[in-house]
Amino acid sequence: MAAPKENENAEKFEEIIELIEDGMSLRKACIKLGMSTRTFYNWIEQDEVKQQQYARAIICRADSIFEEILDIADDSSGDKKFTEKGEVIDSEYVQRSKLRVDARKWAVSKMNPKKYGDRVLNENLNKNIDFSNMTDKEFEEELRKVNRVLNG
């Protein structure tokens, strides 16, 4: 039978994993449960299964934050306010929402770059182009290719 402290630690670990999966940072989850991040890192350093659970939780966190981005973008409830001039756009609220979206977009692009990162297309990767022997027509064609890559 597991010791009470081990059961308590296992429960705390599961709670932290759930909080992370729901979009909370590890630091905030640990603060919420009254423990240090160092303790959490010690737990995962000693247990490969816990490492895998944490890795999955991080992926879920990126997905949760992505969904939050959509919620923020779709919420127009604070976009307008009423003043003595009538209904007007609350530009401070709109800008704050934009900042919240942009910060989250940046974060998820770092958390899961394959899924949420910017994709850069480079058709000429590792291809050296010798412009010195090109005709004007060939040069213009290569320039068009580069413009297509840069401008989509």
Q: What is the pLDDT of residue 123?
A: 53
What was the pLDDT predicted at 54? 96
Is the pTM here over 0.75, yes or no? no
How far apart (Å, rounded) are the C-alpha atoms in residues 2 and 99?
47
Contact between 62 and 111 (Cβ < 8 Å): yes
Fold for the domain defined by 4-116: Arc Repressor Mutant, subunit A (1.10.10)
Token pair, residue 30, equals 């640990």
Question: What's the pLDDT score for residue 145?
Answer: 80
Residue 112 tokens, joined: 């899961």
Terminal-to-terminal C-alpha distance of the chain: 62
Rg over alpha carbons for the chain, rounded to the nearest Å, is 25
- CB-CB neighbours of 99 under 10 Å: 11
One-letter amino acid at 21 equals E
pLDDT at 118: 79
Low-confidence ranges of the chain (pLDDT < 70): 1-3, 119-129, 131, 152
Instruction: With H, G, I as helix, E, B as strand and everything else as coil, classify residue 19.
Output: helix
Pairwise CA distance, residues 66 & 61, whole Å: 8
For 103, other C-beta atoms within 10 Å of its C-beta total 12
- For residue 138, count other CB atoms closer than 10 A to its CB: 12
